Amino acid sequence: MSHPALASGHVAVVTGAAQGIGLAIVRALAARGLTVAMIDANARQMSDAVATLPGVSLLPVVVDVADEGAMMDAAQRIRRDLGPVHVLVNNAGVTTRGGPWGGVDAWRRNMGINLFGVLQGQAAFLPDMIEAGLPGLVVNLGSKEGITTPPGNAAYSVAKAGVKVLTEQTAHELRQICGDRITAHLLVPGYTFTPMNFPGMSDETAKPPAPWTADQVAAAMIDAVESGRFYILCPDNEVTPELDAKRIAWAAGDMIEGRPALSRWHPDFAAHFTESASAYNQKQSYCDPAQNREGRK
């Protein structure tokens, strides 16, 4: 069943659209006949991305999603030039590292883009989407690191945990206001072959076997939205859906069973988790179920 917002001739907005998953989503939406407003802060990457999409109906807009005023101006321009927006994909993200104390500037940048960038995207576009009375779709990019919150980059995990809660609240409020006319969804990629995970990658960089491609994530997003799923948890080539479920359930079990915080990485519990999870991952022999990487964009 096709989502009514994903119709040819409709208008989509994608942030972080110049590379990685964002660009793959642009391609997927354009293939369905949508006109896409591409938002990205990097003018050079935007120009390069547009050059790969000849014949596609696009509006490139160079703006930083962390800049509230610029985002509001961008929304006005998009509505003026393209008409009402039907699809909003808040994809822009960074991985500036910040620990549980210190690194406050990195935290501000991380939260400004990864969390407040999503909030500002919704603030810029959702009120008009609601008022227009048209079918609509919102997809926000989360992360498994915002669900299982592994150690190593507290700032990123906190921001993505915030995106999860924000999107859940958004879905609920939209349901109260306009039923199923506008739906919201949380896209949670697995390990993906993108510049975020492979800095400096180029067209000549060989993809290792473990990650999915960005196009696989975009296709999974479309399929899940059309089937009505809110939580869109993507596997990859080293982690099965069953192992993802085991990790999520274990994280919740820390509270329910009174275990230490992040017990998967605690010396008294790590081996127990690895043993209990070993049966849930049969895809690749090189996968260590207790490894720290949960999968970013």
Active centre residues (catalytic) = 156
Beta carbons within 10 angstroms of residue 202's beta carbon: 7
